[in-house]
Structure 1
Amino acid sequence: MNILKFNSEAKLNEAAARIITSTVQVNPSAVLGLATGGTPIGIYKELVKDYNEGLVSFSRVTTFNLDEYVGLSPDHHQSYSHYMKENLFNHVDIVAERTNIPFGLADQLEEECRQYDERIEAAGRIDIQLLGLGHNGHIGFNEPEDELSSSTHVVNLAEETKQANARFFTETEEVPSQAITMGVGTILKAKMLMLVVKGADKAEIVKRALTGPVTTQCPASLLQTHPNLVVLVDEAAGSLLP
């Protein structure tokens, strides 16, 4: 585990983007695992900047997103498909057919999950999997449970997670209660895991995830078992780390 601490969000975003950019520079056909939410937005802005400056091309890159809400169409303004287009895909030269996001409106959700894992296997191992961290220790939408699914699956979102996501929806909209998410086993197959965490409100769960016992009650703690885990935190999020 390699923990990098930064005294500004800008420096953290730049460092995370440089890791991704350098990976694609070395391997133009890299497979990237992408995340959504507030944490990666600054990183994606840096990647767009690198592309505009001619430092990197995404034309041969393949991407797989961690998750998608069940019940939202890809063009819904709060879908993760829409998020990725707005924050990254529409601003670089990535080929749409090489981008993969679970389909939340699939008639057979279990079949969609199975096929998603098959597409990941066919693409080869994910080179870098970008991850955020939920307040309850979830990664992707793998919520604390007695048992965790290793493969892509449908999950019922914890009330805490729904409340955290409610700020993105208007009062007239109902926050989705289910999502399709990569399983922890799928995540751990990536060659490199890059966990990015920002803010003092995440300090306690960062400490628990990285220094506490490995337990399914804190899904992120399983990242400790990965041989190539890079953690990027700002000073606030990393304030309780030894």
Structure 2
Amino acid sequence: MEIIKCQDAVDLGVKSAEKSAQIINEAINEKGSARIVLSTGKSQLETLNHMISQPIQWEKVEMFHLDEYINLPENHPASFRKYLKERFTSKLPLKKAHFIDSEGNVGEMIKQLNEEISKESIDLGIIGIGENCHIAFNDPPADFQTKEPFIIVNLDQACKEQQVGEGWFSSIDVVPPQAITMSVHQILQCRCIVSPVPFLVKAEAIKNVLESEKITNQIPATILRSHPNCTLYLDQDSGSLIKEKVL
């Protein structure tokens, strides 16, 4: 894992967007198209904001959506497909965008997503890290064994608290108990991973991920350390608790 320390969230967004554009353009140059996975949340805002202005042939890019709450209407402020449509796909002429529509037949939706994502390799995954060290909605103890691309998971208390803390829900009681998420195994299939993680609220999680003696499903994001091409972007706040020897 390569670690890039940035000045602040904006600087982090610029650098992670530029790295993402480089990966996408390399894939387009090599094979004529690119497939990417996008995550959401406050940590990703600057990265996505700067990505849309990158010199990329977006009509050659196919996008997959990382996770979504089950039975949450798209018009809800916390809907991840709403988030991506407003901030990303509506601004670009993408080749195709695959969203997780969790309001209908969930089993059929997962089947379709699994078929689509398995057709070709994924060139880039932009993967955040949660306050409880989850990646996507793979909360601890995360399932490191399943090979299914998309799965149903139960959200833990810390995950729900993060969603409320970021302002997506008014209270823990109204956070959906389950979500559809890309599995840990599928995330690791991305040829390259860019992980933008700003803000002080992520400092303890980053410390745990980087200083853990072992890769463990109790700290799900430690699995990113095993990926052959993963770049972690931190700002001064999120990296504030890390020992210098780790960096």
Specify whether residues 146 and 75 from structure 1 end up closer, same or farther in structure 2 by C-alpha distance, changes over 3 A only. closer
> Any idea what SS the aligned residue of 1:194 has?
strand
Contact 1:110–1:154, Cα closer than 8 Å, also in 2: no
Structure 2 match to 1:69: 69
Contact 2:188–2:227, Cα closer than 8 Å, also in 1: yes
Specify whether residues 18 and 146 from structure 1 end up closer, same or farther in structure 2 by C-alpha distance, changes over 3 A only. closer
CA displacement at 1:49 relative to structure 2: 2.6
Aligned ranges 1:116-135 → 2 under 5 Å: 116-122=113-119, 124-135=120-131
Contact 1:142–1:219, Cα closer than 8 Å, also in 2: yes
Is residue 138 from structure 1 mapped to residue 134 from structure 2 by the alignment? yes
Is residue 49 from structure 1 mapped to residue 53 from structure 2 by the alignment? yes
| Separation (CA, whole Å) in 2 of partners of 1:182 and 1:91 | 24
CA displacement at 1:170 relative to structure 2: 4.2
| Separation (CA, whole Å) in 1 of partners of 2:129 and 2:226 | 16
Give the share of equivalent positions with the same residue, in percent: 29
Contact 1:75–1:81, Cα closer than 8 Å, also in 2: no
Q: Structure 1: any 5+ residue segments left out of the alignment? A: none
Between stretches 68-77 and 152-161, larger displacement belongs to 68-77
Contact 2:14–2:50, Cα closer than 8 Å, also in 1: yes
| Separation (CA, whole Å) in 1 of partners of 2:143 and 2:40 | 24
> Any idea what SS the aligned residue of 1:13 has?
helix
| Separation (CA, whole Å) in 2 of partners of 1:146 and 1:196 | 20
Between stretches 222-231 and 145-154, larger displacement belongs to 145-154
Contact 1:102–1:112, Cα closer than 8 Å, also in 2: yes
CA displacement at 1:40 relative to structure 2: 0.9
| Separation (CA, whole Å) in 1 of partners of 2:185 and 2:59 | 28
Q: What do residues 23-74 of structure 1 show as CA deviations (whole Å, max 9, x unaligned)?
A: 3333331111100000111111112233xxxx22311200111101100233
Specify whether residues 146 and 9 from structure 1 end up closer, same or farther in structure 2 by C-alpha distance, changes over 3 A only. closer
Q: What TM-score do the two structures reach when normalised by structure 2? A: 0.88
How many residue pairs get aligned? The number is 234
Structure 2 match to 1:16: 16
Specify whether residues 227 and 146 from structure 1 end up closer, same or farther in structure 2 by C-alpha distance, changes over 3 A only. closer
> Any idea what SS the aligned residue of 2:174 has?
coil
Structure 1 segments, 4+ long, off by >4 Å, are none
Q: Structure 2: any 5+ residue segments left out of the alignment? A: none
Match of 1:101 among 91, 99, 102: 99
Contact 2:71–2:103, Cα closer than 8 Å, also in 1: yes
CA displacement at 1:118 relative to structure 2: 1.6
Specify whether residues 18 and 145 from structure 1 end up closer, same or farther in structure 2 by C-alpha distance, changes over 3 A only. same
CA RMSD of aligned residues (A): 2.0
